[in-house]
Chains A and B, each alone.
Chain A
């Protein structure tokens, strides 16, 4: 059939375009990171690991990376704990107005973050916590919360409350029920939301650049500042490629172990 053939080829071209747009920049990034030149050019002409060596030695980037990591881990921790608790009560107790609460928890996904961050900055300065680590971590916890809430809502919706009741009839105190039944069954969801929270926090530029003070500069903010003042530093390409490789591996593991693509 003619129309059928057209539909198939249209879909093929569409898919191809999607992959090209998605993956081409990443390919450029990875190739360029191995280039021997001291500026960003494409395609590369000579290959070396000099920028990877420079990245390892650079104190500036190392500190930016560790700030990013610290913020991401702390924010992820908060988002997972509170997101899981919110999701549990939303699913299990179906409180009046629960849907409104869920919608509010989801707003960071659709909010213009820059406006929100500017307002938050005002609040922080009134509270005297501008530029502090807790200020940055809390802001990140809020923007990562939608992901952990969403993942944990679907996790808990799949968890049959009868299993917890069965455990109780077998003699498990509420603490034992959580440790032996609820947590083990929710673990894939918890790991997935932790991973997503860390990634979202790690990727954020807008909120971090507005909230972070001079002491707490995250990696994307450092990169952006560098870009604005001196153009692209090949060190960032090396670090960027390493991060992409790391995330790719993590995503593959997550997909195989926890079926991440089906949790969002």
Chain B
């Protein structure tokens, strides 16, 4: 793919931010965003993603580290000279200005007036499908319309970079899905390098070319959504990403093999070697329930458990299996086994994830 070869547009090197507390909000973050790429900064609240966005925009100063945009160092450039468009979570439309004046603001600041300004405003209003509303005041618009005004206002200045701060979180559930598609389509049409902050993994995975998963001020993994889903770099990433997210089960060594929560687990040869290499330390097995199925009998790559409950989810069943104190859901199209029945869950070696329970780090298969 040609896009993958695109040059780096935004380069963030070892950016650190300390607000003065004992723990920095950002601890040495390095990222690169390629030209035309859509990057999602994904993480739970307090992971530092919004801080990073503000640092990129120049609204916060990094305590340490460097940034460059289009090959130019950003650190000494004040916000108003950065040419970075941002759409805030609350939209931050100027309440004392009409839609037209809100969008015109950035053009005014660049000395763009008259016909050119009018034409650019008309273009961008068409792009976000807001024609005919330019005379309204922001408080006379719906949330979705306000967001599109904010987007138009950021796009009309033809920024070098577009930042989106939780762009969907103030919209209702129905609108959210359609706006998700709209923003992605817009991105494909204009090809503007975009960084979006979100705490919603579904949003990040569906909209972005690459995702940077953040927690506690670190970037844990920065890769394509597929790689992050299939090969999570740590236990945190595995449990944060994917719907359903991965479930972590501690594997212990038993006198006659391996077990999970007191039930029998039969790993493959490769898996057992990897587990044995941990020198008796327990290992976390990461499983995604949509990749599980039932096996007729115990054998390699099966876990034996007991049916706890089951629910019909339309067309198929979700069977909740108890493995000692742990629960795991297994989908099945066949009529589910009865309560208390012993069942064997088949896992796929290629999709099996192993993590160190202390560090959360991925345990490589030999």
Q: Which residues of A contact B (CB under 8 A)?
A: 160, 162-163, 165-174, 176, 180-181, 184-185
Contacts and interface: CB of A to CB of B under 8 A. Distances in A.
25 contacts: A160-B90, A163-B92, A163-B95, A165-B57, A165-B88, A165-B92, A166-B86, A166-B88, A166-B94, A169-B80, A169-B84, A169-B86, A169-B154, A170-B106, A170-B153, A170-B157, A171-B83, A171-B106, A171-B110, A172-B80, A172-B109, A173-B78, A173-B109, A176-B109, A184-B96
A96 to B, nearest CB: 12
Nearest to A181: B94
Given A166-B86, A176-B109, A180-B105, A171 B92 contact: no
Contacts of B176: none
Nearest to B110: A171
A58 to B, nearest CB: 45
Interface string B44-68: 0000000000000111000000000
A172 B105 contact: yes
A189 to B, nearest CB: 13
B268 interface: no
Contact of A168 (B59, B96, B153): B59
B189 to A, nearest CB: 22
Interface residues of B, number: 26
Contacts of B180: none
B157 A171 contact: yes
B90 A169 contact: no
A168 B79 contact: yes
Interface in B252-293: none
Nearest to B96: A184
A162 B57 CA distance: 13
Given A170-B109, A172-B105, A165 B59 contact: yes
Contacts, number: 65
A162 B85 CA distance: 14
Nearest to A167: B105
A20 to B, nearest CB: 42
Contacts of B153: 166, 170
The list of the 8 closest CB pairs from A to B, nearest first, reads: A171-B109, A170-B106, A166-B92, A162-B92, A168-B79, A169-B86, A168-B80, A165-B59
B59 A167 contact: no
A52 B219 CA distance: 79
Contacts of A176: 80, 109
A169 B94 contact: no
Contacts of B86: 166, 169
A176 B80 CA distance: 10
Contacts of A170: 80, 85, 105-106, 109, 153-154, 157
Given A160-B90, A180-B105, A169 B96 contact: no
A162 B90 contact: yes
A162 B90 CA distance: 9
A178 to B, nearest CB: 12
B14 interface: no
A166 B92 CA distance: 7
Contacts of B154: 169-170
A169 B109 contact: no
